[in-house]
Amino acid sequence: MDISQVKGTVVATRKDPKLSGHKMLLVELADIAGKSRGGTPMVALDTIDAGIGDLVLLVRGSSARQAMNMSATPVDAIIIGIIDNIECDGDLTYTTST
């Protein structure tokens, strides 16, 4: 899974019917401190009610369809968790606690 940050939303009225009712978010790959890695944002479906600014776990490829209620959905990127803490080499590089 990749560390990503929720940056915004995408609206598509005309779409595959299986996408209806799923929130589409704009996400950007991030590093272990939660900073942007600079690539072009992609579009992911959200199953855990993530919000703008959240650092999240992104699953890609066919495994995305194993998330809740996604088994028959044409989706290749899903947000499956909101990150609380990242620890690397013994340092806390990201935390939502203050």
Considering the rule CB under 8 A, would residue 63 count as an interface residue with its own copies? Answer: yes
- What does DSSP say about strands 23-29 and 42-46: parallel, antiparallel, or unpaired? antiparallel
Smallest separation (angstroms) from its own copies to the CB of 36: 11
Tokens describing residue 61 = 């490829």
Residue 84, phi-psi category: left (phi > 0), alpha (psi -120 to 50), beta (remainder): alpha
How near is the Cβ of 27 to its own copies at its closest, in Å? 10
Among 21, 34, 42, 46, binds its own copies (CB under 8 A): 42
Closest distance between its own copies and the C-beta of residue 45, in Å?
Answer: 8
Is residue 22 a contact point for its own copies (CB under 8 A)?
no
Q: What is the maximum span of the chain, computed from C-alpha positions, in angstroms?
A: 48
Distances (CA, A) of 20 to 7, 11, 53: 21, 11, 24
Contacting its own copies (CB under 8 A), which of 31, 34, 46, 98? 31
Q: Does 23 bind its own copies (CB under 8 A)?
A: no
Q: Does residue 51 interact with its own copies by CB under 8 A?
A: no
